[in-house]
């Protein structure tokens, strides 16, 4: 009898807690909506990765839906938001905006985690991301659906983060301060019609940035539901991925259903990016989670309360393939001369070179890696570049 009473009290507290948080979130969302900046007057320039040419704004959404990656050069300056990013950095990290790249030399990992958690759901951060998203979506749709859960990702140098990854993931989850393997956002319960906007606040290169497999929305690779990343042994085609070459303030826009992931940070600096999401139509929520989205229509605010409370989503990502047909046609897979559990031998530009069988970072099988133009073996998980040794 006592156990039943305790269980009943526990359920009541859980239910009351849910509704308390929901109501609190509603008023926070409304506060954000009232403070969104009008950035309509500012012009933006867009560039297509697949076509390698400038794109008219009217064509941007179509290009994204076709699996393209769109670059917006110097978005922060073009939208006149430098002072807002400076204020955000000072308030939550006590650093100037241009000092963020060196935050790992100033603060401990524990302090950086604390700061990043504080800024994640802060009202200034939500206002800033919603203002950017509203500007990007408004030329294309009458109804705007904005997710109010951005991530300010401080991707620390690997040498600083490698002994702290378990701690970071216990506090923040994967991919916020440490590398995030290849994935689709729907594996992490996001709506299947999500669009990602990724603004780089520091340089983002092939040594610390983001890697995306264009036109891979229809590729439904097998994934590990627990890790929410691609399953071991399933191809990611690293040599065919587009990788970031971005200056501070640049942005990219792409479908969240394109296979993408972090590049392990092998530089001396922290790579900082603001990662945001929206949907061009009403969010097609995952059957397990209804994320915190708001709708803006005719300058009015809708909290989408019914969708969030009724858990009406019925979408669940497919998990079936081990290879992607269009990528297979390019025949970029390696052809080992010899391999065992310790090493892989490859013919690299006429010379036989020996590589380790498994990546030293997270133990990924490098038989699924591919060679880059420099003859290095790319890890299929986080693109660690591994140099081979001459083999006789």
Q: What would the two tokens of residue 106 be?
A: 């100033």
Per-residue confidence (pLDDT) for residue 288, from 0 to 100? 87
Residues 286 and 166 in one domain: yes
Residues 137 and 79 in one domain: yes
DSSP assignment string, 44-98: --EEETTTTEEE-GGGHHHHHHTT--EEETTHHHHTT-HHHHHHHHHHHHSS-GG
**Domain of 239: which CATH number?**
2.60.120
Residues 243 and 374 in one domain: no
How far from chain centre, in Å, is Cα 92? 21
Closest listed residue to residue 241, CA positions, set 264, 215, 277: 215
Is 115 a member of any domain?
A: yes
Per-residue confidence (pLDDT) for residue 312, from 0 to 100? 66
Which range marks the domain in which residue 289 is found? 21-310
Residues 374 and 267 in one domain: no
Alpha-carbon torsion (117, 119, 123, 128), positive or negative:
negative
Residues 218 and 341 in one domain: no
Percentages helix, strand, coil for the chain, rounded to the nearest 5?
A: 35, 25, 45
Mean pLDDT check: name the lowest of 82-86, 175-179, 251-255: 175-179
Instruction: Give the whole-angstrom CA distance, residue 373 versus residue 378.
Output: 10
Q: In the predicted model, what is the mean pLDDT of residues 190-206?
A: 96
**Domain of 347: which CATH number?**
2.102.10.10
pLDDT value at 371 more than 90? yes
Per-residue confidence (pLDDT) for residue 335, from 0 to 100? 93
CB atoms < 10 A from the CB of 349, how many?
Answer: 8
Residues 132 and 32 in one domain: yes
| pLDDT digit string, tens, across residues 337-357 | 999 999 999 999 989 999 999
Is 2 a member of any domain?
A: no
Closest listed residue to residue 156, CA positions, set 112, 111, 115: 112
Place of tokens 């990528």: 327
Mean pLDDT check: name the lowest of 53-62, 169-178, 257-266: 169-178
pLDDT value at 15 more than 80? no
Q: In the predicted model, what is the mean pLDDT of residues 317-341?
A: 94
Among residues 250, 276, 310, the one where a domain terminates is 310
Is 16 a member of any domain?
A: no
Residues 209 and 92 in one domain: yes
Q: In the predicted model, what is the mean pLDDT of residues 156-164?
A: 92
Q: What would the two tokens of residue 57 be?
A: 């704004």
User: What is the chain's Cα-based Rg?
Assistant: 22
Average predicted confidence (pLDDT) for the chain: 93
| pLDDT digit string, tens, across residues 204-230 | 999 999 999 999 999 999 999 988 999
Instruction: Give the whole-angstrom CA distance, residue 145 versus residue 283.
Output: 7
How many separate domains does the chain show?
2
pLDDT value at 311 more than 70? no
Residues 274 and 339 in one domain: no
DSSP assignment string, 281-306: SS---BSS----EEEEETTEEE--HH
Per DSSP, helices labelled H in the chain are: 2-35, 60-65, 75-78, 82-93, 103-106, 109-120, 123-137, 158-161, 165-172, 305-310, 325-328
| pLDDT digit string, tens, across residues 272-281 | 999 999 999 9
Residues 377 and 301 in one domain: no
Closest listed residue to residue 45, CA positions, set 69, 73, 77: 73
> What angle is formed at CA 153 by the lines to CA 158 and CA 46, rounded to 5 degrees?
115
pTM, entire model: 0.93
With b meaning 16 or more CB within 10 Å and e meaning fewer, what string describes 243-269? Answer: bbebebbbbbbbbbbbbbbbbbbbbeb
Is 3 a member of any domain?
A: no
pLDDT value at 11 more than 80? no
Is 6 a member of any domain?
A: no
Residues 340 and 256 in one domain: no
Residues 194 and 282 in one domain: yes
Q: What would the two tokens of residue 301 be?
A: 């605010």
pLDDT more than 70, % of the chain:
97
Residues 29 and 93 in one domain: yes
35-49, 222-236, 283-297 — which one is most confidently predicted on average?
35-49
Pairing of strands 338-339, 343-348: antiparallel
């Amino acid at each position: 009898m006592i156990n039943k009473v305790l269980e009943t009290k526990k359920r009541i507290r859980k239910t009351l807690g849910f509704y308390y948080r929901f109501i609190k979130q509603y008023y926070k969302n409304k506060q954000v909506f009232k403070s969104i900046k009008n950035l309509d007057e500012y012009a933006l320039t867009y560039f297509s990765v697949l076509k390698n040419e400038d794109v008219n704004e009217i064509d941007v959404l179509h290009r994204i839906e076709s699996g393209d990656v769109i670059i917006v050069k110097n978005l922060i300056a073009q939208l006149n938001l430098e002072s807002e990013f400076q204020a955000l950095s000072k308030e939550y990290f006590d650093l100037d905006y241009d000092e963020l790249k060196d935050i790992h030399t100033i603060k401990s990992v524990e302090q950086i985690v604390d700061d990043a958690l504080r800024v994640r759901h802060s009202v200034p951060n939500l206002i800033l991301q919603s203002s950017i998203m509203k500007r990007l979506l408004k030329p294309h749709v009458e109804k705007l659906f904005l997710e109010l859960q951005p991530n300010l990702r401080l991707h620390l140098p690997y040498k600083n983060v490698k002994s702290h990854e378990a701690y970071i993931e216990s506090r923040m989850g994967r991919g916020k301060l440490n590398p995030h393997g290849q994935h689709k956002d729907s594996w992490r319960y996001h709506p299947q019609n999500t669009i990602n906007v990724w603004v780089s606040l520091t340089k983002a290169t092939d040594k610390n940035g983001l890697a995306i497999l264009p036109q891979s929305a229809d590729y439904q690779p097998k994934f590990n539901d627990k890790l929410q990343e691609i399953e071991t042994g399933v191809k990611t085609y690293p040599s065919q991925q587009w990788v970031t070459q971005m200056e501070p303030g640049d942005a990219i826009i792409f479908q969240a259903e394109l296979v993408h992931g972090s590049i392990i940070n092998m530089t001396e600096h922290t790579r900082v990016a603001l990662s945001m999401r929206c949907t061009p139509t009403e969010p097609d929520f995952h059957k397990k989670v209804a994320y915190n989205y708001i709708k803006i229509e005719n300058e009015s605010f809708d909290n989408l309360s019914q969708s969030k409370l009724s858990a009406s989503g019925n979408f669940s990502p497919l998990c079936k393939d081990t290879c992607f047909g269009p990528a297979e046609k390019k025949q970029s897979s390696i052809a080992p001369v010899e391999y065992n559990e310790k090493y892989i031998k490859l013919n690299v530009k006429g010379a036989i070179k020996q590589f380790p069988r498994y990546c030293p970072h997270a133990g990924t099988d490098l038989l699924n890696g591919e060679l880059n133009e420099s003859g290095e073996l790319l890890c299929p998980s986080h693109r660690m570049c591994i140099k081979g040794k001459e083999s006789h």
